[in-house]
Amino acid sequence: MKFLIADTFNDSLDRLTGDEQKLVKLTAFDLQRDPVNPGMQFHKLDRARDKNFWSVRVGRDIRLIVHKTADSLLLCYVAHHDPAYHWAERRKLETHPATGAAQFVEIRETVQEILIPKYVESDVPRPVRAAQRLFETIGDAELLGYGVPGEWLADVRLATADSLLTLTDHLPREAGEALLELALGGRPRVVQAATSDPFEHPDAQRRFRVLASAEELARALDYPWEKWIVFLHPDQRQIVEKDYSGPARVTGSAGTGKTVVALHRAVWLARANPDARVLLTTFSDPLAGALETRRNRLVSSEPRLAERIDVVSLPTIARRLYKLQFGEAQVASNEQVRSLLLAAARSQPETRFDDRFLWSEWADVVDAWQLPSRDDYRTVPRLGRKTRLPESQRRALWDIFSSVTSSLASQNLVTEAGLFTGLAERFAAGEGIPFEYAVVDEAQDLSVAQLRFLAALGARNGNGLFFAGDLGQRIFQQPFSWKSLGVELRGRSRTLRVNYRTSHQIRRQADLLLNATVADVDGNVDNRDDTVSVFNGPPPLIQAFDSIVQEVAAVAAWLEERLAAGIAPHEVGVFVRSEAQVDRATQAVQEAGLPCKVIEANGDGAEDHIAVCTMHLAKGLEFSAVVVMACDDEVIPLQERVEAIGDEADLQEVYDTERHLLYVACTRARDHLLVTSVKPASEFLDDLQINAGKH
Which amino acid, one-letter code, is at 530? Answer: D
Task: Read off the DSSP letter of residue 681.
Answer: B
Contact yes or no for 478/656 (Cβ under 8 A)? no
Q: pLDDT at position 606, please? A: 58
Domain co-membership, 459 together with 598? no
Report the run of H or E that residue 291 belongs to, with start and end: helix 285-298
pLDDT above 70 for 271: yes
* 65 CB neighbour count, 10 Å cutoff: 25
Choose one of 124, 148, 183: the last residue of a domain: 183
pLDDT above 80 for 110: no
Domain co-membership, 155 together with 206? no
* 3-class DSSP state of 423: helix
Question: Nearest to residue 192, comparing CAs of 152, 230, 236, 147?
Answer: 147
Tell me the pLDDT tens digit for each residue of 563-606.
Answer: 999 899 999 999 999 999 999 999 999 999 999 999 886 545 55
Task: Read off the DSSP letter of residue 691.
Answer: T
Asked whether residue 533 is domain-assigned, the answer is no
Which amino acid, one-letter code, is at 520? Answer: D
Q: How confident is residue 124, by pLDDT bands cut at 50, 70 and 90?
A: very low
Domain co-membership, 395 together with 438? no
* 3-class DSSP state of 663: helix
CA separation for the pair 688, 665 (Å, rounded) = 13
Please state the length of the chain.
Answer: 695
pLDDT above 50 for 127: no
Choose one of 413, 432, 447: the last residue of a domain: 413
Cβ neighbours of residue 620 under 8 Å, at least 6 residues apart?
259, 286, 287, 290, 442
Cβ neighbours of residue 493 under 8 Å, at least 6 residues apart?
248, 249, 250, 251, 524
Domain co-membership, 391 together with 514? no
Task: Read off the DSSP letter of residue 140.
Answer: H
- Taking the whole predicted model, whether its pTM rises above 0.75 is answered as yes
Q: How confident is residue 633, by pLDDT bands cut at 50, 70 and 90?
A: very high
More confident residue, 692 or 400: 400
Asked whether residue 624 is domain-assigned, the answer is yes
E strand segments, 198-297: 208-210, 248-251, 278-281
pLDDT above 90 for 690: no
Q: pLDDT at position 648, please? A: 63
Q: Is the peptide bond before 680 cis (omega within 30 degrees of 0)?
A: yes
Cβ neighbours of residue 521 under 8 Å, at least 6 residues apart?
383, 479, 480, 481, 482
Domain co-membership, 252 together with 349? no
Contact yes or no for 520/673 (Cβ under 8 A)? no
Q: Is the peptide bond before 637 cis (omega within 30 degrees of 0)?
A: yes
Question: Residue 529's Cα: distance from chain center in Å?
Answer: 18
Range of the domain at 408: 334-413
CA separation for the pair 293, 76 (Å, rounded) = 26
What does DSSP say about strands 437-441 and 278-281: parallel, antiparallel, or unpaired? parallel
Q: How confident is residue 241, by pLDDT bands cut at 50, 70 and 90?
A: very high
Domain co-membership, 28 together with 138? no
Contact yes or no for 573/609 (Cβ under 8 A)? no
* 3-class DSSP state of 245: coil
Helices (H), 169-213: 173-183
CA separation for the pair 692, 684 (Å, rounded) = 13
Q: pLDDT at position 181, please? A: 85
Which amino acid, one-letter code, is at 527? Answer: N
Q: How confident is residue 391, by pLDDT bands cut at 50, 70 and 90?
A: confident
CA separation for the pair 304, 1 (Å, rounded) = 29
Max mean pLDDT range (230-239, 359-368, 394-403, 667-676):
667-676
Domain co-membership, 435 together with 301? yes
Domain co-membership, 85 together with 119? no
Asked whether residue 329 is domain-assigned, the answer is no
Q: What is the CATH number of the domain that holds 431?
A: 3.40.50.300
pLDDT above 50 for 121: no
Beta bridge partners of 8: none
Domain co-membership, 316 together with 458? yes
Asked whether residue 52 is domain-assigned, the answer is yes
Task: Read off the DSSP letter of residue 317.
Answer: H
* Mean pLDDT lowest among 116-120, 263-267, 527-531: 116-120
Task: Read off the DSSP letter of residue 318.
Answer: H
Asked whether residue 64 is domain-assigned, the answer is yes
CA torsion sign for 80, 81, 86, 88 is: positive
Domain co-membership, 426 together with 309? yes
Asked whether residue 188 is domain-assigned, the answer is no
What does DSSP say about strands 62-68 and 72-80: parallel, antiparallel, or unpaired? antiparallel
Asked whether residue 191 is domain-assigned, the answer is no
Domain co-membership, 645 together with 543? yes
Tell me the pLDDT tens digit for each residue of 303-357.
Answer: 899 999 999 999 999 999 999 999 999 999 999 999 999 999 988 877 777 888 8
* Angle in degrees, CA 503, 627, 566, rounded to 5: 70
Q: What is the CATH number of the domain that holds 72?
A: 3.30.2310.20
* Domain tally, the chain: 5
Asked whether residue 189 is domain-assigned, the answer is no
Q: pLDDT at position 387, please? A: 59
In this prediction, residues 44-67 reach a mean pLDDT of 94
CA separation for the pair 675, 661 (Å, rounded) = 14
The proportion of the chain whose per-residue pLDDT surpasses 70, expressed as a percent, equals: 93
Using the CB atoms, write b or e for 599-621: b if 16+ within 10 Å: beeeeeebeebbbbbbbbbbbbb
Which amino acid, one-letter code, is at 552? Answer: V
Task: Read off the DSSP letter of residue 690.
Answer: T
> For residue 114, what are the CA distances in angstroms to 26, 159, 180, 504, 588?
37, 10, 17, 17, 38
Domain co-membership, 462 together with 523? yes
CA separation for the pair 263, 210 (Å, rounded) = 21
